[in-house]
C-alpha cells in the first residue's frame, strides 16, 4: 500500500509518502510545503492545496492520513490549523483517496511506543523504521512520515483482526 501522511501547518505543512506491507516501510518522498507569513491566510491555504494536489497526482497514494486537530494554547492558532486541515481533506476527497486521521498520541504510540514522546524521538524512530542513514532535517516532514507509518501499521492490524 502507498500512504501519504500530512502534518498540517500554516507556515510549514509536512508531507511524506511511504510504500508499506504493514511491517516494512519504505520512503518514497518527503518534504515541506512552505508558506510566507506575510501572505494572507487564503493565499497560504491555496498554495498548500495546490502543492498537495500535485503530490497526490504524482505519487498516487492508496491512502492519505492527517493528524487530528488538537487544542492549542492560542485558539486563533487552532482555527488557522483547522483551515489548513480542511483544505487538505478537500484535496484528498477530490483525488478519491481513502482518508484516515489519528491523534498525536496515537501517532507517537505507533512510532515510538510512548504517547508523550518528544519531536526528536519521533525523528529518530522514523529514520530507524525507514532505515534512513540519518533523521530528516525537517520535523514537519518527519511528523508526516510518522502519520503515514501509523496508518500503515493500523491498517495492517485492522486487516489482521478482521481475518481472525
Residues annotated as catalytic (active site), given as ranges: 7, 67, 140
Determine the longest span between alpha carbons in the chain, in angstroms.
54
At 120-147, the pLDDT tens digits run 999 999 999 999 999 999 999 999 999 9
- The Cα–Cα gap between 120 and 142 comes to 10
pTM of this prediction? Answer: 0.93
At 59-74, the pLDDT tens digits run 999 999 999 877 666 7
At 9-44, the pLDDT tens digits run 999 999 999 999 988 999 999 999 999 999 999 999
The proportion of the chain whose per-residue pLDDT surpasses 70, expressed as a percent, equals: 92
pLDDT at 89 exceeding the cut of 70: yes
R_g of the chain, CA atoms, integer Å: 15
Task: For the chain, list the domains and their CATH numbers.
Answer: 2-163 (3.30.420.10)
Amino acid at each position: 500500500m502507498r500512504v501519504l501522511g500530512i502534518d498540517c501547518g500554516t507556515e510549514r505543512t509536512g508531507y511524506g509518502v511511504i510504500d508499506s506491507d504493514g511491517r516494512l516501510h519504505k520512503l518514497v518522498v518527503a518534504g515541506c510545503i512552505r508558506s510566507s507569513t506575510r501572505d494572507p491566510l487564503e493565499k497560504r491555504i491555496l498554495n498548500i492545496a495546490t502543492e498537495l494536489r500535485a503530490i497526490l497526482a504524482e505519487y498516487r497514494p492508496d491512502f492519505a492520513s492527517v493528524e487530528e486537530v488538537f487544542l492549542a494554547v492560542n485558539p486563533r492558532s487552532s482555527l488557522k490549523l483547522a483551515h489548513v486541515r480542511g483544505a487538505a481533506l478537500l484535496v484528498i476527497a477530490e483525488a478519491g483517496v481513502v482518508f484516515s486521521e489519528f491523534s498525536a498520541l496515537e501517532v507517537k504510540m505507533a512510532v515510538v511506543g510512548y504517547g508523550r514522546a518528544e519531536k526528536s524521538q519521533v525523528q529518530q524512530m522514523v529514520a530507524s523504521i525507514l532505515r534512513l542513514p540519518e533523521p530528516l532535517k525537517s520535523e514537519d516532514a518527519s511528523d508526516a512520515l510518522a502519520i503515514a507509518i501509523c496508518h500503515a501499521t493500523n491498517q495492517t492490524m485492522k486487516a489482521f483482526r478482521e481475518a481472525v
